[in-house]
Structure 1
């Protein structure tokens, strides 16, 4: 597998982090609520730039921290990391020439590769799903009960009053429940919609919900956001007490999360513009500014490394 040094910030989606720094970054990502995959090289057979114990993180936003291998291994790692995030289940990869695999553990995904270095790796990919982020606005007994119940699920919960709330508390994956009991409901909701969170719910009667929607529409809030507003928030359980209302809201949030409503989209690194197949070794290559390429006639070919480009140019009789 072609060897190269770890890329610096912004190159190929990489961030220059190594050793224990990868695990520290993984901890930071988990606390911030961003989904990612932690990759660890659990076995290697040289020559290969990936070492046993090498680690890397691939985030749902397409950033890479750390290092698990060179130009041949990286596009496979990115492709399989995206699949791992989407599936939400761990997997073990075996990368290398098929005659180097030997007896693989059951359930291992084998990825034959034809890199010139002829090395081999086994990489364990572990998805870390983002912890749900719930912001509750209000100071009623129901709001307090909901915060306690959600915390029991190990969710990241913030209970704030109306004066403390701003859209800066939210991300597109956040859930916000407005329980201000008619005191500035519209202002809180208008601010929340600016962050375009995954869920916005208002604790209200159905009649009050219709009135709030009309006021927000008059203020210019987009109709798609108003259509997504849950007012009243929660499943219709025929609830009457504040504790039952809290349970109905939490039940709705758990149901929507199980359906994948709050899952963050998974993307390829921002610096890439797609993939291509190396015509020499058959590897899938991520295309970015640093990818080796060669134009032959009207067609552009991309390569995993300079060696494959040289071999192809010689075969085609071009410089």
Structure 2
């Protein structure tokens, strides 16, 4: 729902449908949302199109009656065109009207604050936490950076482009970036906020920029550190980083040459390659064609931090069954106008969206 926040806040009323539980295979994960606005307009999605029409009708009803509804949609083999998930899974969808507390939570999320919310219906309680978007720091104001900024924003990152050369680092050249900074990359990286979800992409392939910023990045607990360049450039860069005092263990974290092997050459194609590696590492993918694998398409998040090559070797293994209604997440501060979650204002680390029993 957080992804829809800006549009929802612009509507004077809306009904929003959220996936609160998934069993088996389903196109969208727990937390996916679709909303219907005051004039019947729709944004978001709760499936790959299998049940959208039915959920839309339900949301219109909730919008007019203000009565929340909880519905289950599952596989239907009666006819290929009947309402159901042809992929074989089932999902529960909670539909609710807008409220002052929900609007307050959405506004807090848009303002960059971590928020925990609690929804209830009949004897079930649903909790959700919305964290600020992860940061993508792109160093090097070149054409490739514009493409990386655009696809990074599309993927939900808060994108910053940084370069020490003011003639190149301009807002006009990087309209997709949330911010454009003129500063030496290593100096900016040292002073800006980062965390374990932050991704750093270095595109300058110029030693006077690369070595200081990569030395800084590899000393920090970041999610991803990658650098553009040929294999020869990479080999020379490793020697320079060793000379600069970067430990060998830290160098093993460097993704260079950056990106997956897609065969593309243009800035846009290179950006897709870089984004593919970011997504694979973030969600535990192998980077291999799905048609060549026998493992489940939708996997759990437990393989975070595992090297791509290791995941490729184990791609044929059966994945562990996910816990229904749960996804990986991190707790955040409570919005003052939202009911206290679980009575303590905290979200368990393993529950971005959870299902429970209301305490009477």
- TM-score of the superposition, structure 1-length normalised? 0.46
Larger radius of gyration: 1
- TM-score of the superposition, structure 2-length normalised? 0.41
